[in-house]
Amino acid sequence: MAAVDPVAADAPTVALPGIARALVSAGKLGQKSAEELTRKAHGNRTSFVAELTGSGAVSAADLAHTLSSAFGAPLIDLDAIDAARLPKGLLDPKTCAALRVLVLSKRNNRLIVATADPSDQQAAEKIKFATQMGVDWIIAEYDKLSRMVEAGATSAGEAMDSIVGEDFEFDETSLEAPAEEAEAAGTSEVEDAPVVRFLQKMLLDAFSMRASDLHFEPYEHQYRVRFRIDGELREIASPPIAIKEKLASRIKVISKMDISEKRVPQDGKMKLKVGPDRVIDFRVSTLPTLFGEKIVIRILDPSSAKLGIDALGYEPEEKQRLLDAIGRPYGMILVTGPTGSGKTVSLYTCLNLMNKPGVNISTAEDPSEINLPGVNQVNVNDKAGLTFAAALKSFLRQDPDVIMVGEIRDLETADIAIKAAQTGHLVLSTLHTNDAPTTLTRMRNMGIAPFNIASSVILITAQRLARRLCPQCKAPADIPSETLLDAGFTEDEVDGSWTPYRPVGCNACNNGYKGRVGIYQVMPISDDIQRIILADGSSMEIAKQAEAEGVRSLRKSGLHKVKLGVTSLEEVLGCTNV
């Protein structure tokens, strides 16, 4: 009879995890070895897979192949995956590191997740609870999975002292600050290096992920960073709450704000060099909240104004109406829409088209968002008395051809702008209204005489930004004709000759969308519309006349984008009114 190990004999029988049972059944691991590794995992508070691969009893590759066969799950080689293209924000990096999983993609309402242990139902439940989505496992080798998960966890707030930002460089001018502020910041520069690197990492990540805004938000027991990507806010990092004061001070110093003032909102600006000849501007806004200062950083990429009018998403007839208007020698062009709808980019695209050696262009903005060589740009400063109205009065003494006013906020500014448009100048500006027809009634309500509106305004563009469907993964959508009719399509359009598409989601996009496209209502002021204005007509009368002249409403313009397969019906319904 073989000798019995007294220790092994005394050791209680343990319940083997599912992965251990699968290995024993496949003949890859003995029963006693499986029990011993299970005990070690319990004692060391590690996973069975970690103990198994660490002991060398089964290699990571052999384990992955065995589990793929045993559980009928697909196998993936993570060396062939580009980590930079993996979706971000679907599952918190802390959760990924704790569960040793990696989100590969999203399909409908299910996550495709790489794991080394497909039997871990507890992990699946935690992921489902955190994301409210189902989980489909894909088997990966444990060592490769661990490396990739740890690499993801070291970004953002997970390991701030390991963040490296060697390819990041602030423009020297953005580091200028009042002497006392610079002195205070300089004394803590070394000890606050992790905070500096964290900010650098966040700005670079936001730029590489094509985000439009960064939100730094302090709460009582939490500090989070969110990016707005394609119009949708996504949580990116949860750094330690202890950094909120130092991070706010760092941002305020390089944005030339008063670091000692925390009671009132402040605005500033900074720059980022992302290459030898590429500089990105950031507009910074702080807001005092209950638990600290919330900071929002808007990314202003000057190259966006040089993409050309074709990149904005205008349909051919809309584009021609706009080009005809900016080709006029005088008059007023208004761009309307909510904050974040792309009004600034549209205005600068027009300015770029008119920016020629023989044209004198001046702009008044609060603040100037995009630097355009050849254009005389002025930042208004209400405290110093340099208001929009004051800047406009000065422009008229500077022999301008084209004037751009950032926003018409009051009657004085509107009155001067209209007089400029009536006396041989082309004036471009913005208003916050819902659509083009209501812009005219809004101006009337501001106190502007109908005659002045009719004789100065030559075109109004209302716009929204809708998320663009990813061309790689979009799929045909089965939408009932009743739903299409309710959305605004006509009976003739719902004839089956075209196919609506829906978002799916892949490694190359964000939940089925990639980038954004403009939805426009471009309304020239015709003679008939002028007559309605002079008669003090309503916005509904103006809208009816514009439609008779072939001007699409915002909803109709969006539905046209649905017919072309550019965006989804849900997206258009979400950003336009009937």
The predicted pLDDT at position 561 comes to 93
Check residue 212 and give its pLDDT.
Answer: 87
pLDDT at residue 274 in the model = 67
Separation of alpha carbons 272 and 196, rounded Å: 13
User: 40, 53 in Cβ contact below 8 A?
Assistant: no
Would you state the pLDDT for residue 295? 96
CA distances from 461 to 198, 347, 369, 550 (A): 40, 10, 20, 14
CA angle at 492 for the pair 489 and 497, rounded to the nearest 5°: 90
- CB under 8 Å, gap of 24 or more: what pairs does 306-310 form? 306/352, 307/349, 308/349, 309/349, 309/350, 309/353
- Give the C-alpha separation, 469 to 516, whole Å: 8
* Residue 436, pLDDT score: 92
As a whole number of angstroms, the distance between CA 327 and CA 353 comes to 10
pLDDT at position 494 is 86
CA distance 487 to 559: 8
CB 139 within 8 Å of CB 73? yes
Hey, what are 186's tokens? 């300089």
List CB contacts of 129: < 8 A, sequence separation 6 or more. none
Gyration radius of the chain's alpha carbons: 30
Cβ neighbours, 10 Å, residue 153: 18
Residue ranges of alpha helices (H) inside 142-187 are: 142-153, 179-187
For 194, residues 6+ apart whose C-beta sits below 8 A from its C-beta are 160, 161, 163, 243
Q: Which amino acid is at 560?
A: H
Give the tokens for residue 495. Answer: 């004839």
H or E segment to which residue 206 belongs: helix 193-208
420 CA to centre of own chain = 37
Strand partners, 113: 103, 137
Residues 90 and 55: their CA atoms lie apart, in Å, by 33
561 near 572, Cβ under 8 Å? yes
Residue 389, both tokens: 């109205």
Tokens of 355: 């920016």
Side chain identity, residue 564:
L
Q: Which two tokens stand for residue 306?
A: 């040089």
Q: Tens digit of pLDDT for each residue in 257-285?
A: 998 888 999 988 888 776 656 677 888 99
Q: What is the pLDDT of residue 519?
A: 93
42-78 burial: b if 16+ Cβ within 10 Å, else e: eeeeebbbbbbbeeebbebeebbbbbbebeebeebeb
Q: Are 198 and 243 in contact (CB under 8 A)?
A: yes
pLDDT by residue for the chain (578 residues), tens only, comes to 444 444 444 445 667 777 788 888 878 788 888 888 888 877 777 778 877 877 777 888 888 888 888 888 888 888 777 777 788 778 877 778 888 888 888 888 888 889 988 888 888 888 888 888 888 888 888 888 887 877 665 554 444 444 333 333 444 333 333 333 334 444 344 345 778 888 888 888 888 788 889 999 999 888 999 999 888 888 888 888 888 898 999 999 988 899 888 899 998 888 877 665 667 788 899 999 999 999 999 987 666 656 677 778 889 999 999 999 999 999 999 999 888 788 888 888 899 889 999 999 999 988 777 778 889 999 888 888 888 888 888 998 888 999 999 888 888 889 999 999 998 899 999 988 888 999 988 899 889 999 999 999 999 999 998 999 988 889 999 888 899 999 889 888 888 888 999 998 887 777 788 888 899 999 999 999 999 999 989 999 999 999 999 999 999 999 999 999 999 999 999 888 76
* Spatial distance between the Cα atoms of 512 and 491, rounded to a whole number of angstroms: 29
DSSP for 81-94 reads: S-GGGS--SSS-HH
- HSE at residue 509, side-chain half, CA atoms within 13 A, is 20
Q: What is the pLDDT of residue 141?
A: 87
The answer to whether the beta carbons of residues 427 and 403 sit under 8 Å apart is yes
| pLDDT, tens only, 416-444 | 999 999 988 999 999 888 889 999 888 99
Picking from 317, 162, 131, 315, the residue whose alpha carbon sits closest to that of residue 234 is 131
Residue 519 pairs in a beta bridge with 464
The DSSP call for residue 552 is: P
Displacement of CA 84 from its chain's centroid (Å): 17
Q: Provide the CA 198 distance to its chain's centre, in angstroms.
A: 19
E strand intervals along 101-253: 101-107, 110-115, 134-139, 169-170, 211-218, 223-229, 232-237
The C-alpha torsion from 63 through 66 and 71 to 74, rounded to 10°, is 80
